[in-house]
Amino acid sequence: MAETSFLDHMREIVGDARPSIAIAGLVAIFVTLWSVLSTWPQYNRLREFKGPRLAALSKWWLIKKVGGGRAYLDFWEVTKQYGSIAKVGPNDLLTDDPELMRHILNVRTEYRRSDWYDGMRFDPGNNNILSWRDEDEHFNVAGSDTTATAIRSTMLHIITNPLVHPTLRAEISKTHFSEPIIPDAIGRDLPCLQAVIKEGLRTFPPVAGLMSKQVPAPKATPGKENSSPAVPKSDTARGEYSAVKISGVLMLESLDPRDGWRCSRNKAAVTDTMDLIDSSLDKNLVKWVKTTQATLAEAQTKKGQFVTDHPTKDAVEKLFMARVLGKAILTPGLNPAGTFVRMACGSDYSFPGSKLIEDHSAIPITTVEGPYPPCAIPEKDLKPISISQMRLETHHWGSKVLLHQLSLVDRGEAIMFIVEDQAGTAVLLKLYHQPLEKEISCNWTMLDYRVCIVKNPFFQRVHDTITPNFCQIPQSYYTLRVDHPGDIIPLRHGDGRIPEAWKVNPDRDDKTSHGYRDLGNKAFGKKDWAAAHHSYSQALDVAETSQDKQLAHLNRSLINLKLGRPAEALLDVTQAYDPEAPTEKALFRHAIALYRLNRFEDCEAMLIDLLDKFPDNKAAETTLLSVKTRLTEQRTGKYNFNKMYKTAKAAKGAPLIDCATYSKPVEIRESPGRGRGLYTTKAVKAGDLLLVEKAFEYSFIDETRLTDQCTILANFNTKRMTAGASANLWPKVVQKLYHDPEALSAFTELHHGKYKPVTATEGDGRPVVDAFLVEKILSLNSFGAPRSTRDFCGNNVWSGNPAPEVCASTRERPLFTSVGVWLLAARINHSCVGNCRRSFIGDMAIIRAARDIPVGTELTIPYRPSTDSESYQDVQKGLAKWGFICDCELCKDRLKTTEAVRVRRKELSKEFDKQVPSDQEFDLEKATKLLRVIEKTYSGKPAKQIRWCIAHLYAYVGIRLRQDEDFVRAAEMLIKGLETMGFVILATPPDDGSAQARFEVKQWGMMEHHIPWLFFQLIECYAEINPHLVPVAEHYAQIAYSIIVGEGESMWDVMPATGNKAERT
């Protein structure tokens, strides 16, 4: 009875609840429908604009970015990714088009402030200076707060730059104007005043935050004619004024004339014509190039002149110290002296605005000027010379000068400090190609002895900085420039060549080897590797017993490993123990040094010996396992690619992969007319692994922090400028060679054009490294590389959002890429078509055969990306710096093609794109007619002929047909797309039911990044029309994928459009 009552009670409850549940369901359905119906019109009217997916449906994306603290960067990335007008909200567009911004911000513009400004009210019923939307009322009070901010920040910069202040005052004084305020007409004619104002506004923008403009009726559609879509009626435009040069942001309810940071990087806003590799540079940089070229030319007019106006030692030192301290205060993170500012103030950025100034500092620039050879003469055979005896712009061959450090050390494009000679004449000393600051602080460049010898001194009058930067106003000094690391000899404490007057702290002569080792141990505990290296070197200098010497060598060997100098570590550790009675620590460190030098067989033998003597050493056991893995890779070419990807992706810094080099299928031979090349030692099939190589040296730039880490290398000899990691790679290689004589020999064998290197390899006990030879070799043999080719292609080539201006890997490196040099891969000569392809995982280069290659065949790759409409002359001009003419099949066709035919093909290709747009219903008949017209511009048999101009058109037609589910004709077009790239394919017609189904690649053609995607489209087609051919298509797709990416294991993870193979079998 009780049970029945309980059930009845539950039924009553449920019964009562059913109407409530039904009502709630109806409400939910109504709300959902209302949301969809109200959102759809907004979404539909902006469907032509691209942007983040979430932003099209909700304002949450915009709210998140505005509140994230880095909106200016997020907005810049959006316009870079989605175009000059991008969607960032349901009613919000963003633009960086400077012409559109000028139209929006024009005095007579029809754009008006939107209701966005209502949110600026503190009292909802009353306006303030920020919330006034009436243009006439706002005009009376506008700008007072921002003007005050701009004045304060600009005045701060003026008074902290001693060169600017007197120059500006002198210019204003020349006006002789007696009234308190200079008229605008006079002020506009004062170039220094105008420059200071504009630079102050650029460096410290007075306004931040989103501001809105109402988009007017269609008659005032923003943008240039035929340059951007019209903005719908009754929408608004938001703008963030953050600099004098205003770029914009279009937002539907708002158009953002925002962010000068973005505008200064907009190619349309700043492009200027210049004879450089990239003309899409900030116009300030273009101006700097011209100014620097003029300065260098002017300096040459004074070549050979003596100097009679050397300033006093105190004057030179004070001028330099004022600069160093001012820079340390304004940009502590960019200056070694900033450490003292942080210690004194207790904050990284205690000075108002210093973080903003540092963030907006100019990109560091490294210049390549007139090359000259390093000194190969021993120091003892050089003749002393004083600074007063030197001539301007002159290398004083066969001479040396003894110098004493006077000032703090600063770092810009070079390490700089004030020095004096024995006569008391002070000059600026600039040291180039020294270790990077993050590796060894420039404060340790001269150790702490403050005395050095410069060989073959090069005397100039130059500025202390060449980087165009407001907070580093250039100041002119008489200067000694040192480019080669061996041309300066720092003298350690106690060196007999140090004059008595320059000796410091004589009590240190009493310190024992043990005492110096203690100092080194303390520095080691602080991870101050340079200080520890210095102390252990001192311990070695004063060591009196063999035990002290061995301990100093042992400790210094560890520091050399930390500093990335395994060759010197090996040299130290071999002197750190008695072979008859080795210590456990010494043997293990010896093994590690061998491992870092990639001498894995020697390392294995050393570890076996170590474990035989000390069987409980767990670290040795673990290292031995790694060595065996390296030896397997080296001997068989079997790699754990998945682990390599994980390591590259997880790396917070440079993605350095712990793997060995595999090179059994290739060898170096003489290549007739092309120096030395790489040849096959056996016959290989398309997709076979030819080479996996660890980078000789690698310089990394994080793709997500390009603006923080980018550097520029400007070569005034070749008139070429490269942005990215090249400037950092140069000193890294110079330092590597200076600390590894064997590496020096291997590196200098690479192609260096007509450059004539010195014959000497050693001087004063150190390798003779020619920094200019290094730069020349790098310019001809280094490659730009993504973090991984797989991710690059997956994100940019096969994702439907290609970045055509970026190439995965060529010797003509695109902007903002990491870069490295691989000694074996650098031997591969050029062909536009190429018979192999290169890919990357971190600092590992992977080479696979792009076609079947017989034994003894020279390998070739394209050094530069080709396009379908390039002329023969343009291609050969692009290859001129390597000193050869390409005669591949593609170039032979270019040579035969007349200019009229080339232009005709280009016009027809554009006409195809116009007549068959991607955003309209596909017209196969029209597309086929246009393709036939383009085909007629080619002569000869189509078999094996690369007809690049129509290859991508066939591919496009095939993909459109596949999207329309016309799988038979799609397969035909896709196969034609492959055949026009030089592939020879035997395939039964897709609609031929009488013949036995067949699909076979008889000959592989030109491998480009889109080829795997075409094979994947074929997989989808065959899945519908002939499933028996799907495994065959998958096989060829995996080969093509492995050629482009470097491995085939990850294919189904990166290209999942057709489903997983395992799911269909």
CB of 680 within 8 A of CB of 853? yes
| Distance, CA of 154 to CA of 349 (rounded, Å) | 18
Q: What is the pLDDT of residues 750-768, one digit of tens each?
A: 999 999 999 998 999 899 9
**Residue written as token pair 């992977």:** 846
φ and ψ at 1064, to 5 degrees?
-100, -5
Q: So what's the pLDDT on residue 20?
A: 64
pLDDT at 535: 92
Residue 990 included in any domain = yes
**440 against 20, higher pLDDT:** 440
**CA–CA gap between residue 834 and residue 847 (Å, rounded):** 12
Specify whether the CB–CB gap between 726 and 713 falls below 8 A. Answer: yes
- pLDDT, residue 418, reads 94
Q: What pLDDT, on the 0 to 100 scale, is given for residue 566?
A: 97
Residue in 999, 996, 969, 968 with CA at minimum distance from that of residue 984: 999
Confidence bin at 642 (pLDDT 50/70/90): very high
Q: Is pLDDT at 234 greater than 60 in this prediction? A: no
d(CA 626, CA 615): 17
Among the listed residues 431, 397, 104, the one whose alpha carbon sits nearest the alpha carbon of residue 235: 104
- Among the candidates 255, 281, 301, a domain finishes at 301
Residue ranges in 863-1007 assigned as alpha helix (H): 872-878, 889-896, 899-915, 924-935, 948-963, 967-979
Which CATH number do you get for residue 620?
1.25.40.10
CA dist list (Å): 904 to 890, 899, 1051: 18, 8, 39
Write the pLDDT tens digit of every residue in 317-367. 988 888 787 776 666 555 565 555 555 555 555 444 444 444 444 566 788
- Residue 275: the pLDDT is 30
* CA distance linking residue 680 with residue 858, whole number of Å: 7
Rounded distance between C-alpha atoms, residue 307 and residue 80, angstroms: 51
Helix runs in 699-800, H state only: 706-709, 726-738, 741-747, 771-781, 789-796
- pLDDT value of residue 596: 97
Task: Examine the fold and report which residue of 635, 668, 694 is the final residue of a domain before the chain moves on.
Answer: 635
146-150, 453-457, 715-719: least confidently modelled range: 146-150
Please indicate, yes or no, whether residues 224 and 284 belong to a single structural domain of this protein.
no
The tokens describing 94, both together, are 């963003």
CB of 812 closer than 8 Å to CB of 864: yes
Q: What kind and span of H or E run contains 555?
A: helix 546-562
Whether residue 878 lies inside any domain: the answer is: no
Please, are residues 1015 and 1001 in contact by the beta-carbon 8 Å criterion?
A: no
The verdict on 810 and 674 lying in the same domain is: yes
Residue 877 token pair: 């001009």
For CA atoms 619, 625, 630, 634, give the dihedral sign. positive
Give the integer Cα–Cα distance in Å for 1001 and 1033.
Answer: 10
Residues 409, 441, single domain; the answer is yes
| Per-residue model confidence as pLDDT tens digits over 1003-1044 | 999 999 999 999 999 999 999 998 999 999 999 999 999 999
Find the CATH number of the domain harbouring 354: 2.40.50.140
Report the amino acid identity of residue 127: N
Closest CA to 501 of 578, 615, 404: 404
DSSP character string of 625-662 = HHHHHHHHHHHH----HHHHHHHHHH-SS--------B
- The residue count of the chain comes to 1065
pLDDT computed for residue 277 by the predictor: 35
Which residues lie below 8 Å from residue 42, measured CB to CB, with a gap of 6+?
Answer: 90, 91, 252
Do both 1042 and 1059 map to the same domain? yes
Q: Is residue 172 part of a domain?
A: no
Could you tell me how far CA 387 lies from the centroid of its own chain? Answer: 40
In tens, the pLDDT along 46-66 reads 666 778 877 776 777 777 776
Domain extent for 841 = 647-865
Q: How far is CA 7 from CA 10, 13, 16, 20, 380, in A?
A: 5, 10, 14, 21, 109
Question: What distance lies between CA 337 and its chain's CA centroid?
Answer: 27
- The position carrying tokens 């100014």 is 291
Residues 384 and 486 in one domain: yes
Of the two residues 179 and 252, the one the predictor is more confident about is 179
pLDDT-derived band at 1063, boundaries 50, 70, 90: very low
Percent of all residues in the chain with a pLDDT value above 70, rounded to a whole number: 72
Is the confidence at residue 957, as pLDDT, over 60? yes
Arithmetic mean of pLDDT, 776-785:
92
Rg (CA), the chain: 34
What token pair was written down for 450? 């403050």
Query: What is the CATH number for 1018?
Result: 1.25.40
- For residue 750, how many C-alpha atoms fall within 13 Å in the half-sphere facing its CB? 26
Percentage of residues in the chain having pLDDT higher than 90: 42
- By the 8 A CB rule, do 1021 and 965 touch? no
Phi/psi-derived region of residue 485, left when phi > 0, alpha when psi is between -120 and 50, beta in every other case? alpha
**How far apart are the C-alpha atoms of 156 and 780, rounded to whole Å?**
45
The verdict on 742 and 855 lying in the same domain is yes
Same structural domain, 265 and 275: no
Question: Terminal CA-to-CA distance of the chain, rounded, Å?
Answer: 59
Q: DSSP assignment, residue 445?
A: T
Tokens, residue 974: 């896709």
Query: Do 556 and 524 touch, CB atoms closer than 8 A?
Result: no
The answer to whether residue 2 is domain-embedded is yes
C-alpha span between 895 and 875 (Å, rounded): 10
CA 798/CA 125 separation, integer angstroms: 54
- Per the listing, tokens 């000869």 go with 940
> Has residue 555 got a pLDDT over 60?
yes
Task: Considering only residues 980 and 30, tell me which one the structure prediction assigns the higher pLDDT.
Answer: 980
What is the tens place of the pLDDT at every residue in 156-180? 777 766 667 777 877 777 766 556 6
- Write down the pLDDT at residue 880: 87
The domain boundary residue, chosen from 831, 865, 899? 865
User: Would the CA dihedral through 645, 649, 654, 658 be positive or negative?
Assistant: negative
858 and 946 part of one domain: no
Owner of token pair 């030179």:
316
Q: What is the mean pLDDT of residues 646-656?
A: 92
Q: Contact 809/839 with Cβ under 8 angstroms? A: yes
Phi and psi torsions of 468, nearest 5°: -70, 105
Whether 128 is in a domain gets the answer: no
Is 550 in the same domain as 467?
A: no
Q: Which two tokens stand for residue 863?
A: 């050094």
Q: Are residue 483 and residue 550 in the same domain, yes or no?
A: no
Q: CA–CA separation, 235 vs 228, rounded Å? A: 16
H/E stretch holding 712: strand 711-715
Report, as an integer, the average pLDDT of 126-136.
65
Domain-located, residue 631: yes
Return the pLDDT at 160: 65
Is there a single domain that holds both residue 485 and residue 594?
no
Within 8 A by CB and 6+ apart from 733, the residues are 696, 697, 747, 774, 778, 821
Over 319-377, what HEC string results? HHHHHHHHHHHHCHHHCCCHHHHHHHHCCCCCCCCHHHHHHCCCCCEEEECCCCCCCCC
Q: What is the pLDDT of residue 23?
A: 72
CATH number, domain of 706, equals 2.170.270.10
If pLDDT is split at 50, 70 and 90, which confidence band does 229 have? very low
Mean pLDDT for the stretch of residues 481-486: 95
| Closest by Cα among 590, 597, 630 to 614 | 590
Flag whether pLDDT at 810 surpasses 60. Answer: no
- Domain presence at residue 875: no
Q: How many CA atoms lie within 13 A of 294 on its CB side?
A: 6
Q: Which amino acid is at 381?
A: D
pLDDT of 521: 96
* Integer angstrom CA distances of residue 543 from 245, 536, 549, 580: 64, 10, 6, 22
Residue labelled with tokens 């006006």: 175
Mean pLDDT of the region 485-494: 90
DSSP string, 269-295: HH----SSS---S-HHHHHHHHHHHHH
Query: Does the predicted TM-score (pTM) go above 0.85?
Result: no
More confident residue, 360 or 880: 880
Q: Which of 31-40, 165-174, 322-331, 933-942 has the highest mean pLDDT?
A: 933-942
Q: What is the DSSP string of 150-187?
A: HHHHHHHHHHT-TTHHHHHHHHHHTT---SSS--HHHH
| CA 144 – CA 228 distance, rounded (Å) | 35
* pLDDT tens digit sequence for 666-676: 999 999 888 89
Name the nearest CA neighbour of 444 among 483, 415, 484. Answer: 415
Q: What is the pLDDT of residue 507?
A: 56
For the chain, what is the domain count? 7
Residue 238 has pLDDT above 50, yes or no: no
Cα distance between residue 125 and residue 942, in whole Å: 77
- Inter-residue contact 992 to 971 (CB < 8 Å): no
List, as one string, the DSSP characters of 517-542: HHHHHHHHHTT-HHHHHHHHHHHHHH
791 vs 801: CA distance, rounded Å: 13
For residue 997, give both structure tokens: 């189904």
Check whether residue 1007 and residue 1045 sit in a common domain. yes
Residue 386 within any structural domain of the chain: yes
Confidence class of residue 713 from pLDDT cuts 50, 70 and 90? confident
Q: Which stretch of 148-152, 491-495, 755-759 has the lowest confidence by average pLDDT?
A: 148-152
* Mean of the per-residue pLDDT values of the chain: 79
Give the model's pLDDT for residue 276: 32
Name the more confident of 279 and 570.
Answer: 570
pLDDT at 673: 83
Least trusted range by pLDDT, from 141-150, 517-526, 609-618, 709-718: 141-150
